[in-house]
Each structure stands twice: as C-alpha cells, then as structure tokens.
C-alpha cells in the first residue's frame, strides 16, 4: 500500500489469462464484521489466494522535474509593508464587533471584513493575566 496517498496498486498482469488488466478487491463479511477481501482479475475472474500471489505491474519512473527545480515564490511586498498591514487588520482592532451574521466597526457603524484596514485603527488591549 502506498502510505502517502492511501491507495493500493490495481494494475496487474494476470497469471491466469496473461492480460494486462486491473485487480478487483471485494470485501468479505462474517455477519457485520469485515473478515477480509477477495482479490480477482477483472478480465477473466480468476481469484487470487492472497496479495503475494498477484503480479502487480511495476510503476514506471519517469525522470523529470523535482522540488529543487521550482522557482522561489515571488515577493510582492517587502517585510515592512506586510508587518504594517497585518498589524492594522480590522480583526485586531478594538472597534471590531463580531456577530454570527455580520461583522461591524463600532466606530463607523459600518459592515467590515476581518481583513479590512482603516486609518482609525486602535489596537485591542491585551487580555488580563489569569489570577
């Protein structure tokens, strides 16, 4: 089983009919409890005793690009601009009022979004330490 994607290989070369085909996995139940699964060829219906008896096709490795070939992400803003903007977002303002249906600015009484900014920004007071 491929641990990264959680998928199991399905492409096989059937030892019974010799065709390049797919593997069918069907669960087997004893009452309501899963007891295992049957493995069969989709072309001829041959049932394999276990997964070790199945001849899976080898995955082709194609040389190509890797993570080292990706260009670095572009920097649109310098760090100073990012810090100034992020610290002035409405969600960090003392006048930002959160409601399940609508967010408002208590100073201008307008509807705002958490990522909006304004010139009348006032930082929230830090929470009092717990006693």
Residue identified by tokens 């899963």 is: 34
Residue identified by tokens 């920097």 is: 75
* Ranges of H-type helices in 1-131: 79-86
Express each pLDDT in 2-14 by its tens digit: 444 456 778 898 9
- Name the pTM for this structure: 0.42
* Cα 92 from Cα 129, distance rounded (Å): 19
Contact 46, 18 (CB under 8 A): no
Express each pLDDT in 20-31 by its tens digit: 999 999 999 999
| 3-state secondary structure (DSSP) of residue 81 | helix
Express each pLDDT in 16-72 by its tens digit: 898 899 999 999 999 999 999 999 999 999 999 998 888 888 877 677 777 888 888
pLDDT at residue 15 tops 60: yes
């Amino acid at each position: 089983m491929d641990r990264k994607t959680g998928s199991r290989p399905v492409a096989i070369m059937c030892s019974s009919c010799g065709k390049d085909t797919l593997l069918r996995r069907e669960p087997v139940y004893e009452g309501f409890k899963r007891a295992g699964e049957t493995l069969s060829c989709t072309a001829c219906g041959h049932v394999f005793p276990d997964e070790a008896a199945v001849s899976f096709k080898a995955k082709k490795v194609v040389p190509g690009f890797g993570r080292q070939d990706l260009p670095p992400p572009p920097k649109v803003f310098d760090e100073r601009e990012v810090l100034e903007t992020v610290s002035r977002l409405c969600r960090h303002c003392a006048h930002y009022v959160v409601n399940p249906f609508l967010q408002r600015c208590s100073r201008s009484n307008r509807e705002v979004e958490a990522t909006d900014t304004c010139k009348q920004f006032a930082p929230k007071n830090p929470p009092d330490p717990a006693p």
